[in-house]
């Protein structure tokens, strides 16, 4: 029996607008990094989120790396971040020679501000400098900045917002990307919008934006020959990628609306399924990048892994939630503050197909297959 075509978790949603933009960039002759498409993409993204300055970079990871440098994080510093995140957040902290201190989650996956405060106090009392706090907007829900920003202020620690997953989301009327001293976006292929690969740093601080641009272009001094005083990086975005990003940005509200529709459909569907709830969120605020269920096996009688394997056999991609960083072999020696909330989310969660290009028949197929699975358990 031929398998149905694969339904992916969050594939790129690209079409004629993106094709036209990429061809435009190629025809213009600006296929090298930088150029007018990059400048325009920065201006348009800054306007969309309401940030003063935007620097387009080669990835979200590069943006995190340079964001930490722009905040003055030093080797040996501690940096407080969420244990529930993609490894890039923690790796960027390691790139600058700092040590991540991982903090446990609230039930929506974002880090617990009370534990953040404990972590900052403990580090500072032991004489360790805390270089930054890095909240992560997990799965497109903005972290609780109303609680985190006062901690930053009280203890004198800057905030780098990892908004890689939350472009277009808001919380308490404030847009992702405008919170913290610097914020970072990702345009990786599976994100809410893509440049095939890319990222951006946003800030209201002109000097920090200038410094990040400088570091991202090999820290070249503004003289006619190649003069370098500082260690730099080749982290800028290419013109072709920026053109793609501009087309995606013009469609972003419509793409977010479609992801929210899918979230609503999952909510309705699972409302009647015992032992299953959706990862808590807010449909009016979150960008609904991924929609995830939490399964209480003692009630449902089946595990998220069993559903994952069943759907995989039907060519439907799903994925466990992020494995917490303090459980990763790479970070086994890192400090961790908290209990088992993130660990329980990891074991009970499953992210379901959530892409904005998913058609209605594909969504019907996903729900039909889940129904067949539920009948078989
Ligand atoms: C929370 C988080 N931070 C950072 C990144 C890194 O972004 P990039 O893949 O663009 O380097 C990602 C996604 O990949 C992410 O989900």
In terms of Cα–Cα distance, which of 200, 156, 196, 195 is closest to 177?
Answer: 200
Q: Facing residues of 306 across strands? A: none
Q: Give residue-wise pLDDT tens across range 89-148.
A: 999 999 999 999 999 999 999 999 999 999 999 999 999 999 999 999 999 999 999 999
- Exposed e or buried b per residue across 244-256, where buried means at least 16 C-beta atoms within 10 angstroms of its C-beta: bbbbbbebbeebb
Question: What residue ranges do the domains of the chain occupy?
Answer: 16-249, 252-376
Ligand 1, atom 14, lies closest to the CA of 188
163 within 8 A of 192, measured Cβ to Cβ = no
Query: Is any ligand 1 atom within 6 A of the Cβ of residue 351?
Result: no
Identify the pLDDT of residue 283: 94
Q: Give dist(CA 291, CA 140) in Å, integer.
A: 9
Model confidence at 357, pLDDT cuts 50, 70, 90, reads very high
Least Cα distance to 196 among 28, 19, 35 occurs for 19
195 Cβ below 6 A of ligand 1: no
As a whole number, mean pLDDT of residues 190-198 equals 96
Phi, psi dihedrals of residue 133, rounded to the nearest 5°: -110, 130
Q: How far apart are CA 150 and CA 312, in angstroms?
A: 44
pLDDT value at residue 2: 59
- Give residue 190 CA to ligand 1 midpoint distance, Å: 10
Residue nearest (by alpha carbon) to ligand 1 atom 7: 60
Backbone angles phi, psi at 234, to 5 degrees: -100, 80
Mean pLDDT of 201-218: 98
- Which residues contact residue 221 at a Cβ distance below 8 angstroms, ignoring those fewer than 6 apart? 227, 228, 229
CB burial class (10 A; 0-12, 13-18, 19+) of residue 346? buried
Strand 99-103 to 199-203 pairing? unpaired
Q: How confident is the model at residue 348 (pLDDT cuts 50, 70, 90)?
A: very high
Three-point CA angle 121, 207, 178, nearest 5°: 60
The mean pLDDT value for 163-184 works out to: 98
Instruction: Reply yes or no on whether the pLDDT at 83 is more than 80.
Output: yes
Per-residue pLDDT tens digits for 313-347: 999 999 999 999 999 999 999 999 999 999 999 99
Q: Do 16-249 and 252-376 show the same overall fold?
A: no
Q: Which of 162, 188, 193, 287 to mutate to test the pocket of ligand 1 (most atoms within 8 A of CB)?
A: 188
Ligand 1 pocket check for 166: Cβ under 6 Å: no
Is residue 70 over pLDDT 90? yes
- Closest alpha carbon to 78 in 120, 15, 112: 120
Containing 53, the helix (H) or strand (E) segment is strand 53-57
For residue 318 and ligand 1, the question of a CB distance below 6 A is answered with no
Model confidence at 1: pLDDT above 70? no
The owner of tokens 């989310």 is 345
Q: Span 149-161, mean pLDDT?
A: 98
Tokens standing for residue 99: 């040590």
Is there a contact between 71 and 131 (Cβ–Cβ < 8 Å)?
yes
How confident is the prediction for the chain on average, in pLDDT?
96
Q: Is the pTM of this model over 0.85?
A: yes
State the pLDDT confidence band at 32, using cuts at 50, 70 and 90.
confident
Q: Look at residue 31 in the predicted model and tell me its pLDDT.
A: 78
Q: CB-based burial of residue 277 (10 Å sphere; 0-12 exposed, 13-18 middle, 19+ buried)?
A: middle
- Taking the CA of residue 92 as reference, the ligand 1 atom at the shortest distance is 4
CATH number of 16-249: 3.40.640.10
- pLDDT > 80? residue 33: no
> CATH classification of 252-376, choosing from 3.40.50.800, 3.40.50.300, 3.20.20.70, 3.90.1150.10?
3.90.1150.10
Ligand 1 atom index nearest CA of 186: 10
pLDDT at 6: 97
Phi, psi of 97, rounded to the nearest 5 degrees? 80, 10
Closest ligand 1 atom to residue 62 Cα is 11
């Amino acid at each position: 029996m031929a398998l149905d075509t694969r339904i992916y978790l969050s594939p790129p949603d690209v079409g004629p607008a993106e094709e036209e933009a990429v061809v435009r960039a190629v025809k213009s002759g600006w296929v090298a990094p930088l150029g007018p498409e990059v400048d325009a993409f920065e201006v348009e993204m800054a306007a969309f989120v309401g940030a003063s300055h935007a620097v387009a970079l080669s990835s979200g990871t590069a943006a995190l790396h340079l964001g930490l440098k722009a905040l003055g994080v030093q080797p040996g510093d501690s940096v407080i971040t969420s244990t529930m995140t993609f490894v890039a957040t923690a790796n960027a902290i390691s790139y600058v020679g700092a040590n991540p201190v991982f903090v446990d989650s609230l039930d929506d996956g974002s880090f617990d501000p009370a534990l953040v405060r404990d972590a900052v106090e403990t580090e500072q009392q032991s004489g360790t400098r805390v270089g930054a706090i890095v909240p992560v907007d997990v799965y497109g829900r903005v972290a609780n900045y109303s609680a985190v920003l006062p901690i930053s202020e009280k203890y004198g620690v800057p905030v780098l917002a990892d908004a890689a997953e939350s472009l277009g989301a808001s919380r308490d009327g404030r847009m992702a990307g405008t919170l913290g001293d610097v914020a970072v976006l990702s345009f990786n292929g599976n994100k809410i919008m893509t440049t095939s690969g890319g990222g951006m740093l946003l800030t209201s601080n002109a000097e920090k934006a200038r410094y990040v641009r400088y570091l991202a272009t090999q820290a070249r001094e503004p003289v006619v020959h190649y003069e370098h005083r500082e260690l730099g990086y080749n982290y800028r975005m290419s013109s072709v990628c920026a053109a793609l990003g501009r087309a995606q940005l013009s469609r972003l509200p419509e793409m977010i609306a479609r992801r929210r529709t899918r979230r609503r459909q999952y909510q309705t569907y699972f409302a009647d399924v015992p032992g299953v709830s959706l990862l808590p969120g807010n449909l009016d605020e979150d960008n609904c990048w991924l929609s995830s269920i939490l399964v209480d096996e003692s009630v449902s009688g089946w595990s998220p892994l069993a559903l994952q394997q069943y759907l995989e056999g039907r060519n439907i991609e799903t994925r466990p939630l992020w494995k917490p960083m303090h459980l990763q072999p790479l970070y086994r020696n890192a400090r961790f503050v908290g209990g088992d909330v993130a660990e329980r989310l990891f074991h009970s969660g499953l992210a379901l197909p959530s892409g904005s290009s998913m058609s209605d028949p594909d969504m019907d197929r996903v729900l039909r297959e889940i129904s067949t699975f539920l009948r078989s358990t």
